[in-house]
Amino acid sequence: MIIENEEQLTQAVLDETRGTTDPRLKELLQALVRHLHAFAREVRLTEREFDQAIGLVARLGQLTTASHNEVRLMAGSLGLSALVCLMNNGEGGETTANLLGPFWRAGAPMTPNGGSIVRSPTPGTPLFFTGHVMDREGRPVADANVDVWHASTVGLYENQDPTQADWNLRGRFVTDQNGVFSYRSIKPAGYPVPSNTVTEQLLFAQGRHGMRPAHLHSLIYKDGFKTQASQVYSADDPHLESDAQFGPTRSLIGHYILHENEPAPDPEVTGPWYSLDHTFVLDAGESRLPPPPVSGKATERVLVRSEHA
């Protein structure tokens, strides 16, 4: 087709998708074209703005490495990750599913229930976490695999931080016959998105901060159940209601209990410690592990935390 005007152009592009044999792919491509073209028309996108947008998209890929996934981080800051999660979990109601985040690594060490995931000296108040995994009818889900991970109190995951041991604050567990898994760690802290990134640039352009509230990650999977990524947030975090990634929901707010004059479950802990219990509810469905957003460990701290976040 020889293009005569802007309206005809959109139809010409849509016509070229007719040969797509996969029905779902065809649906996605046609919707993408319609919405992209409609967006450009609505804002009357200028050539200068188009060039800038192309540069930002290219930068997302350039910043994505084995230890950092800028594309997933940006998706979270736009609320897209949270929207996809809410649309696909909970059978239309409340869900304990949440964002996978950009820092899950596959292959964390298997750890016995009650074991520690602190694998190198890491400052922080000891935490004893107990998770309960149930189905929609309230029955315990035994023999479920659970990956757990979280950031240190300086706000870095071990794959970002060469000073932490490989797999520090990460582990894999299996629920017992009561659907319970448990581990020892430290109470995490909130942290900002990495500085000098496209995501930080977009947040600051909106007058938003880049902080994430403190949270613990889990990824729960067992045949017969939909794999669930989740995050449990700290109720006392000041950024709980303004998370840069729009993650917290009421079912995922954890209430830590401080123990100052009680013996800890591990006799090695002699000072104050925290406990936290949380219940995860799985939906029936496909057990499928997602592609890991990161696969390796940074050799140097290339993503410096922002002083302005």
Residue range 76-102, pLDDT digits in tens: 999 999 999 999 998 777 899 999 999
- Beta strands, E only, 23-103: none
Q: What predicted TM-score, i.e. pTM, was given to this entire model?
A: 0.90
Host H or E run for residue 215? strand 215-221
Tell me the pLDDT band of 299, cut-offs 50, 70 and 90. Answer: low
- The answer to whether the CB of 272 falls within 8 A of the CB of 211 is no
pLDDT digits (tens, 9 = 90+) for 112-163: 999 999 999 999 999 999 999 999 999 999 999 999 999 999 999 999 999 9
Cα 275 to Cα 261: distance, rounded to the nearest angstrom: 13
The DSSP secondary-structure symbol of 15 reads: H
Which pLDDT tens digit goes with each residue over 214-270?
999 999 999 999 999 999 999 999 999 999 999 999 999 999 999 999 999 999 999
Please state whether beta strands 126-134 and 180-186 pair in parallel, antiparallel, or not at all (unpaired). Answer: antiparallel
The top-level CATH class assigned to 63-281 is: mainly beta
